[in-house]
Amino acid sequence: MATVYFKDPDSITDVTVDWSGLLGSRTISTSAWVIGAGLATSNETNTTTTTGIRFIGGSDGVTYEATNTITLPGGTTYQRTLFVRVRDVLVDEGRRAPVVDLAEAKHYLRVTTDDEDQRIESLIRAATEFVEGSTGRTFLSKSKTMTLSKFEDKIFIPSYPTQAVARVQYYDSNNTLTTLASSKWLSYVENGATVLTIAPDQTWPDVYDRPDAVRLLWFAGYDSAADVPSIASQAILMLAREWYDNPGLSSKEPIWLKPMLWALRTGHVADA
């Protein structure tokens, strides 16, 4: 499976590819990169077992393909492809497409005028937040952050689905915020949960004694509204309709909603 790196449009991202597991005692002679149009690069480097490159710029929402080909003494070549997905972590997440849009909600509610558009949009947002909170899922694609007092052997990312861990930062022993190179850590899925851990043959750095010594940034949610489970969209519509028809019940969970929520629940929500 190809590796996906996330970056901000205005930032630079340094990537190191470790070939040592494939090479054994062999070494890299030369390295070459082929990059998708629109993503700038610099600082191409290679050692006997690693290759490196710096990605610059890119357009928000675009995924770029980058292929690295190494040549060994004697002419043997190997190739790896990775992807760089550009995401603006400062973007107003309200611009992201909703799970249920206004037109769909009005059709479901059989509303033909624009007089209540603001109210209907508010109900859809509230219903979406309610279903997300009740199931432990994140529907709308968004960036999330978490702080820890120290690095753990396994750090479980508290959201589902998690698209990718984008950045690992820490306050070093001098209390300086430092970004940990992506080659130092890895993430994987364990029983449906995304786990962050230290890379093989690496150790977590020492951190300053403070409650937010470790800072994580990741992207959660589905790539598009079309990827959200249909039962979730239906639950949002039905809940919005319940609240639309019965304004006084807007703080209560209808009995019929429970089976739908249970079908969507993940390990990221506490049992009631």
**What is the C-alpha to C-alpha distance for residues 6 and 165, in angstroms, rounded to an integer?**
8
**What is the C-alpha to C-alpha distance for residues 220 and 68, in angstroms, rounded to an integer?**
28
Residue 131 burial (10 A CB sphere; 0-12, 13-18, 19+)? buried
C-beta separation of 86 from 60 below 8 A? yes
Rg from Cα positions in the chain: 23
Give the 3-state secondary structure of residue 103.
Answer: helix
Kindly report the pTM of this predicted structure: 0.62
Do 135 and 146 lie in a common domain?
Answer: no
Do 125 and 251 lie in a common domain?
Answer: yes
Do 241 and 203 lie in a common domain?
Answer: no
Do 230 and 131 lie in a common domain?
Answer: yes
Do 252 and 213 lie in a common domain?
Answer: no
Domain membership flag for residue 163? yes
Do 133 and 231 lie in a common domain?
Answer: yes
If pLDDT is split at 50, 70 and 90, which confidence band does 89 have? Answer: low
Do 150 and 177 lie in a common domain?
Answer: yes
Task: Please give the residue range of the domain that contains residue 7.
Answer: 3-86
Residue 121 belongs to domain with CATH number: 1.10.3230
C-beta separation of 224 from 209 below 8 A? no
C-beta separation of 13 from 40 below 8 A? no
Do 27 and 71 lie in a common domain?
Answer: yes
Number of compact structural domains in the chain: 3
**What is the C-alpha to C-alpha distance for residues 106 and 118, in angstroms, rounded to an integer?**
11
**What is the C-alpha to C-alpha distance for residues 29 and 75, in angstroms, rounded to an integer?**
9
pLDDT, average across residues 106-134: 93
pLDDT in tens, 25-36: 999 999 999 999
**What is the C-alpha to C-alpha distance for residues 44 and 56, in angstroms, rounded to an integer?**
12
The pair of structure tokens assigned to 109 is: 């509610």
The pair of structure tokens assigned to 106 is: 């009005």
**What is the C-alpha to C-alpha distance for residues 237 and 99, in angstroms, rounded to an integer?**
10
pLDDT in tens, 217-270: 888 888 778 889 999 999 999 999 999 998 876 556 788 898 999 999 876 554
Domain membership flag for residue 270? no
